[in-house]
Structure 1
Amino acid sequence: MSSENLAHHLHLRAEDVGRYALLPNCPEHVAPIAALLDDPEFVARNREFETWRGTLGGERVIVTSTGVGAPSTALAVEELAALGVETMIRVGASGSMLPDVVNGELAVLTSAIRDEGTTKQYLPVEFPAIADIEVVLALREAAERAGVPFRCGTAHTKDSYYGETETDRMPMAATLKERFETWRRGGAVCSEMESAAVFVVGTVLKVRTGSVVLMWSQDAIDNGPAPSIEPLFATAVDAVRTLVATGTRSGAAAPSAVGA
């Protein structure tokens, strides 16, 4: 924390937050998610980090953008945990890795492949990036209630967007293609840039974490159209509502995972 207990990057104080946070990477998604809360209001903005807050079931819930990628996401998780947030859910978009994914299908992520650099400065790569089981179940139940297509599974978290989408022009094209095919054949459902950081940093800091992402199908990535983002936002908010209603809290033990 900096002077006056202001978080250095987020520009938040402990009194600004509650126990729950939703984490889109895009600042433009913060206000629309917050609009689904009761009594939403703007709190702060600095760099890529914008925060709004509201309530659900009498509990304060904040929505903070993390920016794109693991480094800035780790900053957000670190500072929110230091301020007292106990449960954090990434809310974002991803590219599908499986051919049968419907455009706009949701993925409730149970784990992530640590194909990025940030989390290696927290724990050895052999340590898994896993979501908290209570958060996973709340997200799954919310998706079921919303009636949207979804699946639970593992994400591929990477550092280079264009390394995936424009692989052929990369000096390491052959290696990147081989690795991507390895993740796909192993059963990874989507590729994105933040979930491994949320899971690993959350594990280290003893906070509950989860992630729900909207998947673009392979055809839509190349040709469009963009899927609707509203079911993603509604599912994430409804999951927090469930967690608030059950009254469960982050404990002293590290988060546990549920299988795909």
Structure 2
Amino acid sequence: MKGIRMNNQTSAHHLHLRADDVGRYALLPGNPDQVASIAALLDDPEFVVRNREFETWRGTLDGETVIVTSTGVGGPSTALAVEELAALGVDTMIRVGVSGSMRPDIVNGELAVLTAAIRDEGTTRQYLPVEFPAIADIDVVLALRDAADRAGVPYRCGPAHTKDSYYGETEPERMPLAATLTERFEAWRRGGAVCSEMETAAVFIVGSVLKVRTGAVVLMWSQDAIDDGTAPSGDPLFATAVDAVRTLIGANTRPAVGAR
């Protein structure tokens, strides 16, 4: 599948970026309020543009341009961001976000380096049949895992559950499909999903179609923390993501066309 066609004079329709605004690497938080905090870990960070939910800052690591672009909530806006960044020349994208844990043994603030995503949403079904797996690029997974090791933060690797309805997962009992939602969520948990969130499947599937490298690292809230609103610090999450990009820059490899 060919991606959107752009040149140096074309501004991306939703992101309002041009090709000379970006480099090969992008970090993708969902929340626009996190963009500046992540960019502060880069060299020479600067604001570039904001349109709707998409805010972009730019900096450098070891001489390479790295951008931080928010995707907003959910698959549709995330797919837009991945599509337009790939068209502008970005070939390595890492989702950086938060999620609810799905395991009772997960400590509040633990990281998840996501290896795959359960496609329990609608956006990616307009790209590939649901039987096609949503998987991360192995080089990005290893870079994130090693960065988490260096940071000394607790983490685990595994698949995420990606959904469209936040309240369908957090308050299934009030939904007409309560029994179905509860049964499916328990199946994902028993199958090994570590967290539930709303963007990773779109990043992985659109990345697969466009032949760009993708990965994801998220900060997990325990159920108790979700109930009482005790937000863990995002600092270890941001530092891990930026350090992983530095590793990928040092390796200086590009995605193999047609390979994942």
TM-score band by shorter chain is over 0.9
Which segments of 5 or more consecutive residues in structure 2 lack a partner in the other structure?
none
* Distance across 2 between alignment mates of 1:51 and 1:229: 19
Partner of residue 190, structure 1: 195
Which of 79, 83, 95 aligns to 2:84? It is 79
Moved segments of 4+, more than 3 Å: 1-4
Name the TM-score, length of structure 2 as normaliser. 0.96
Q: Which amino acid aligns with 2:114?
A: L
For the pair 1:104 / 2:109, whether they are aligned, the reply is yes
Distance in 1 (CA, whole Å) between partners of 2:136 and 2:113 is 10
Shift of residue 242, structure 1, vs aligned partner:
0.5
Q: Does 1:156 align with 2:161?
A: yes
Aligned to 1:258: none
Q: Secondary structure at 1:5's aligned position in 2? A: coil
Deviations 1:147-185 (A, max 9, x none): 000000000000000111111111111110000000001
CA contact (8 A) 2:6 2:87 kept: no
CA-to-partner distance for each residue in 1:21-76, whole Å, 9 max, x for gaps? 00000000000000000000011100000000000011000000000000000000
Write the deviation string for residues 128-157 of structure 1: whole angstroms up to 9, x where unpaired.
Answer: 000000000000000000000000000000
SS of equivalent residue, structure 2 residue 113: strand
Residue among 12, 15, 20 paired with 1:10: 15
Partner amino acid, structure 1, of 2:83: E
Of 134, 138, 142, which aligns to 1:133? Answer: 138
Contact 1:2/1:8 (CA < 8 Å) preserved in 2? no
Q: Does 1:208 align with 2:208?
A: no
Using structure 1 for the length normalisation, give the TM-score: 0.96
Q: Which residue of 2 aligns with 1:226?
A: 231
- Over residues 167-204 of structure 1, what are the superposed CA-to-partner deviations in whole Å (9 max), with x where a residue is unaligned? 11111111100000000010100000000000000000
Residues 1:115 and 2:120 are matched in the alignment: yes
Structure 1 unmatched ranges of 5 or more = 256-260
Q: 2 CA distance for matches of 1:156 and 1:225?
A: 22
- Aligned with residue 53 of structure 1, among 55, 58, 71: 58
Instruction: Give the Cα separation in 2 of the matches to 1:126 and 1:250.
Output: 23
Report the equivalent of 2:46: 41
Q: CA deviation at 1:2?
A: 8.1
CA apart distance, 1:219:
1.2
* CA–CA distance in structure 2, aligned partners of residues 205 and 119 of structure 1: 13
Say whether the 8 Å CA contact 2:101–2:220 is kept in structure 1: yes
Could you tell me which residue of structure 2 aligns to residue 169 of structure 1? 174
How many residues were matched structurally?
A: 255
AA in 2 matched with 1:55: T
Query: Structure 1 pair 227/196, CA: closer, same or farther in 2 (3 Å)?
Result: same
Letter in 2 for 1:27: P
Whether the 8 Å CA contact 2:6–2:88 is kept in 1: the answer is: no
Report the CA distance between 1:254 and its aligned residue: 2.8
Query: Matches of 2:177 and 2:186 in 1, distance apart?
Result: 14
1:249 counterpart residue number = 254
Which one of 124, 134, 138 corresponds to residue 129 of structure 2? Answer: 124
1:11–1:46 Cα contact (<8 Å) kept: yes
Question: Offset at 1:230?
Answer: 0.6
